[in-house]
Amino acid sequence: MVSVPECFSESYAEARPKFCSAAAAAGGALRSWLNPKAHGPNGEALYLDTARFGADDAPNMLVLIAGTHGVEAHCGSGAEIAWLRSGGPSKLPKDTGALVIHAINPYGFAWTRRVTEDNVDLNRNFVDHDKPYPKNDGYLAIADAVLPQDWSEASKTETERVFAAYAQKHGAYGLQGALSSGQYTHPDGIFFGGNTPTWSNRTIRAIARQELSRARRVGIIDFHTGLGPFGHGELICAVTPAAKSFPRAKAWYGDELTSPEGGTSTSAVVVGIMTDAFPQELPDAEVTPIAIEYGTYSVPEVLGAVRADNWLHQRGDVRSTQGRELKADMKERFFPAGDKWREMVWARADQTIGWALKGLGAP
């Protein structure tokens, strides 16, 4: 019997060997990519690891991805390891393989951050960097309040005043969009999409071409945390409802599926998401991507932790007492302590993987 809570890890340093061991025990082919630009808080090397199962020419491929937002890999890693330890690979249909991607953003996982080593939100980085970037006038209006000079009660009160004034004019959802939809003007800010493809961006594209080029159908589940009711896994289809993959996703997941553009999701409409890379790199395959978003705490609490972490790395001292307190809060907001939340994560992940496999095998 698999102990679900033991599948989850308290750090990247704990999670990586646990994942590699579980993948090897399940008969997976392991590959590792070293991030040459970053290291962990104790100087450790940082790797993106993948485990592949099934025939090289399997027409159907299930893809599980952990750590697009680094700190959220605590969740995704645990779900992946639970799938590996519970015999998931051995239960794959004959014509279906799986690619399990662990710590796509290893820097963020190791440092308890959402962002990459470039302070880039990986889920805003997959735009066409040769074209003009999407504008976010809302972020411009509140950028100074997002990153104050110091982190104190006075600065937090002033930020709340600015945010409340913006929300009064544009609505709470308008404020959430201004903050989180993505911005390309403030490299020291939050939800920064970057001005070039990151290492993780380039690497995941290479992995897609290398591991999935022979597949005809690809079903992707990207694990996230931080929005929605505690422990509930919302199934988000971030593509426009006009996209070819949207009706497929709707057929696979039914009324469980939500849409930011359709106004049914807790997520704002965002641009440049990571899963956009797969249909771009696999033009001959039917790619059906979703994100599974697990609720933790309220949006203001989660956004407050993100802002605090950003301030800490831009203007604070990570090694200070304040730094340790802010890091502990950041981790809790995206990876709540206790067994109950972790068991809820796996129950929903197991259910969703089942739906994806059924969809992949549908005639």
- pLDDT by residue (tens digit) across 119-129? 999 999 999 99
Arithmetic mean of pLDDT over the chain:
96
Considering its fold, how many domains does the chain have in total? Answer: 1
- Local confidence band at 141 (pLDDT 50, 70, 90 cut-offs): very high
SS3 98: strand
**Per-residue pLDDT, 86:** 97
| Domain-embedded: residue 73 | yes
**Per-residue pLDDT, 26:** 98
Report the length, in residues, of the chain: 363
| Domain-embedded: residue 308 | no
Give CA–CA dist 273/239, Å, rounded.
Answer: 9
Least trusted range by pLDDT, from 153-157, 239-243, 324-328, 352-356: 239-243
| Domain-embedded: residue 151 | no
Residue 261 has pLDDT above 90, yes or no: no
Q: Are 289 and 248 within 8 A, CB to CB?
A: no
Mean pLDDT throughout 254-282?
90
Q: Are 204 and 101 within 8 A, CB to CB?
A: yes
| Domain-embedded: residue 181 | no
**Per-residue pLDDT, 22:** 98
Give CA–CA dist 21/206, Å, rounded.
Answer: 24
Tell me the per-residue pLDDT of 198-252, one tens digit each, with 9 for 90 and over: 999 999 999 999 999 999 999 999 999 999 999 999 999 988 888 889 999 999 9
Give CA–CA dist 120/109, Å, rounded.
Answer: 13
Residue 24 has pLDDT above 90, yes or no: yes
SS3 294: strand
Q: Are 38 and 59 within 8 A, CB to CB?
A: no
Query: CA of 218: how far to CAs of 32, 55, 275, 297, 363, in Å?
Result: 21, 14, 11, 32, 14
| Domain-embedded: residue 118 | yes
Six-digit token pair at 272?
């440049």
**Per-residue pLDDT, 264:** 84
Mean pLDDT throughout 28-52?
97
Exposed/middle/buried for residue 36 (C-beta within 10 Å: 0-12, 13-18, 19+): exposed
Task: Tell how strand 233-236 and strand 257-258 pair up.
Answer: parallel
| Domain-embedded: residue 255 | yes
Six-digit token pair at 255?
């009324």
User: What DSSP assignment string belongs to 11-75?
Assistant: SHHHHHHHHHHHHHHTT-EEEEEEEEEEE-TTS-EEEEEEEEES-TT-SEEEEEEE-SSGGGHHH
| CB atoms closer than 10 angstroms to residue 261 | 15
Residue 307 has pLDDT above 90, yes or no: yes
Task: Tell how strand 257-258 and strand 45-53 pair up.
Answer: unpaired
**Dihedral sign (CA 199, 352, 236, 173):** negative
Residue-number span of the structural domain to which 39 is assigned: 4-129+191-300+331-361
Tell me the per-residue pLDDT of 54-94, one tens digit each, with 9 for 90 and over: 999 999 999 999 999 999 999 999 999 999 999 999 999 99
Alpha helices in the chain (DSSP H): 4-7, 12-25, 73-85, 106-110, 137-146, 153-170, 172-180, 199-212, 245-253, 277-281, 299-315, 321-334, 339-361
Give CA–CA dist 118/215, Å, rounded.
Answer: 32
Tell me the one-letter amino acid at 275.
T
- Give how far the C-alpha of residue 276 lies from the chain's centroid of Cα atoms, to the nearest Å: 13
| Domain-embedded: residue 184 | no
Mean pLDDT throughout 173-186?
93
- Give how far the C-alpha of residue 175 lies from the chain's centroid of Cα atoms, to the nearest Å: 21
**Per-residue pLDDT, 271:** 86
Of 1, 200, 177, 176, whose CA–CA distance to 85 is shortest?
A: 1
Domain of residue 353, CATH code: 3.40.630.10
Residue 263 has pLDDT above 90, yes or no: no
Residue 270 has pLDDT above 90, yes or no: no
Percent of the chain exceeding pLDDT 70 equals: 100
Of 208, 197, 210, 357, whose CA–CA distance to 278 is shortest?
A: 208
Q: Tell me the chain's radius of gyration from C-alpha atoms.
A: 19
| Domain-embedded: residue 205 | yes
Mean pLDDT throughout 170-174?
91
